[in-house]
Amino acid sequence: MESLLNFKLPTLPKLKNPQTGAIGLDMGFEQINLVQIDRIEGTFSIRAATSVGYPSGRDNFLASSKSGKRLIRSILRDHPFRGKKITTTLPADQIKLMLVNFQGHNTTEQLILKAVQERINTGLESSVIDYVVVNPRSENQSQQSALVAIADKQKIMDYLNWLNRCGLNVQVLEIGPIAINRLLCAMYGDHLEMKVLAINFGSKKSYLTVVWGRRLLLDRVIDYGLEQALDTVSKSLHIGRNDAHRLLEQHGFTTDTGSNRAHLIDGTDISQALTEILIPFFRKLASEINEVLLYTASETRGGTIEQINLFGSLARIHHTDKILDKLLSLPVATVKPFYGFSVNKDLLPAHELAPVSGIAVATGLALRGLLAHA
């Protein structure tokens, strides 16, 4: 009888109540990327993610809402996305990002507007401007910097209307660097004082973003991307751009000097050749990075970046991080998609996560509202 009285029902595990964020949508140059994240008891779990190529190019895709509606409907049907609320960015060619310095006694908005007007003489009346102060004023600093985004209002409205016609409910229109910053904050978690340079390689342009202790310190756009690399390879080897792309994806680069190997043409030789062809191309990037490091050091009174993270098209090519690591005196690592997130492999087959760049931005967008401090 006593044992019966002492009997306790087994305690049921507490039901987890996930907080689902908006869908992060990034209109990449070649593919549309969507990610949605659940936050379950403080940890992030990828609810759904996909990356789908445009049927006939991004411009044609954006020209007709019919094809967009069809594609987005099929994506939402085939993947476990919840809701139709999205956080997105404008396509890169429709937005102008600039870092402006300002100082004075007026309000921040007025000072930034004045600085922007000094740089751009006309067209601000029909533009939408937003900013984020990248190095908040300290006692010793009189000058501040802000990352300013400028976009044509009509283009924004057209884009929003297009998304609306596709059945999506746009909550926020952001920019890539902010999303990357948020992604890094989520990845590094408790390392509050992380000092990271994120390089997001695009097709024609790449973005260098410095995240300093969870703050965006710098975002710089450089004319540097996969297309330039493909041009260089195709000119050197007298092959087409598609073949060059295939070679790069298939063989990648190598850090091996090749002096001890037999003289046989194999995959390593091709990697060696590609590396030698593109070394000047990477040196150009290294010099840009060094400039950023200098700027960062001056802005932070001698602070140094501790880690360089690579995203995007060039980061997908094997050993890009190793090449840059050799050229720079900093640790360089290609960031895998959803690093540090819980991922259901059944829901997200590996081939869907190939475009690291778009997925990274989309993931950063999807994190909006889920981070406690961002």
Partner 1 sequence: MHEFNLIPNEYYQRIRIQHWLKIFAFSYAALICVIYSGHTFLSHLETQQNEYIGTLQQSKQVIISQQKELGGLRKEKQQLKKWHSIFNSLHKGPTAQHLLIALDRVLNNNIWLRQLSFIREEETADANNVAVNTGYLIVVPQELNKGQRQAWRMKTHMTLQGEALDHSTLASLVSDLIDQQEIDDVRITKTASHRYIYQTAVTFEVDLLLNSRSGEHL
Minimal distance in Å, beta carbon 239 to partner 1?
A: 41
Single residue of 130, 243, 269, 325 touching partner 1 by CB under 8 A: 130
Binding mask 354-373 for partner 1 (x = CB under 8 A): --------------x----x
Query: Which token pair is 304?
Result: 């140094």
Query: Which token pair is 302?
Result: 């001698």
Single residue of 52, 120, 160, 237 touching partner 1 by CB under 8 A: 160
- In the three-class reduction of DSSP (H, G, I as helix; E, B as strand; rest coil), residue 51 is classed as strand
99 binds partner 1 (CB under 8 A): no
CA distance 227 to 246: 13
Helix axes 241-251, 226-237, angle to 10 degrees: 100
CA distance 236 to 229: 11
Residues 309-338 that bind partner 1 (CB under 8 A): none
The nearer residue to partner 1, 148 or 317, going by C-beta atoms, is 148
Residues 55-94 that bind partner 1 (CB under 8 A): 90
Q: Name the residue among 153, 10, 46 with its Cα closest to residue 367.
A: 46
Pairing, β 195-201 against β 206-212: antiparallel
Minimal distance in Å, beta carbon 94 to partner 1?
A: 10
Residues 216-235 that bind partner 1 (CB under 8 A): 216
192 binds partner 1 (CB under 8 A): no
The nearer residue to partner 1, 179 or 247, going by C-beta atoms, is 179
Name the β-bridge partners of 48. 36
The nearer residue to partner 1, 172 or 327, going by C-beta atoms, is 172
The nearer residue to partner 1, 299 or 321, going by C-beta atoms, is 299
CA distance 237 to 243: 10
Q: In the sheet that 95-102 helps form, which strands lie side by side, from edge to edge? A: 95-102, 144-152, 127-133
Single residue of 52, 99, 132, 279 touching partner 1 by CB under 8 A: 132
Minimal distance in Å, beta carbon 301 to partner 1?
A: 21
Give the CA radius of gyration of the chain. 23
Contact 312, 361 (CB under 8 A): no
Instruction: State the number of binding residues for partner 1 (CB under 8 A).
Output: 27
128 binds partner 1 (CB under 8 A): yes
Candidate segments 45-53, 130-138, 192-200, 329-337, binder of partner 1 by CB under 8 A: 130-138
Single residue of 70, 153, 165, 204 touching partner 1 by CB under 8 A: 153
- Which amino acid, one-letter code, is at 118? E
Minimal distance in Å, beta carbon 204 to partner 1?
A: 22
E strand spans, 56-126: 85-89, 95-102
CA distance 89 to 362: 9
The nearer residue to partner 1, 178 or 293, going by C-beta atoms, is 178
178 binds partner 1 (CB under 8 A): yes
172 binds partner 1 (CB under 8 A): yes
Tokens 């921040």 belong to residue: 108
170 binds partner 1 (CB under 8 A): yes
Pairing, β 23-27 against β 144-152: unpaired
Where b means 16+ CB within 10 Å and e means fewer, 344-360 reads eeeebeeebbebbbbbb
Chain positions contacting partner 1, by CB under 8 A: 90, 95, 128, 130-133, 149, 151, 153, 156-157, 160, 164, 170, 172-175, 178, 181, 214-216, 368, 373-374
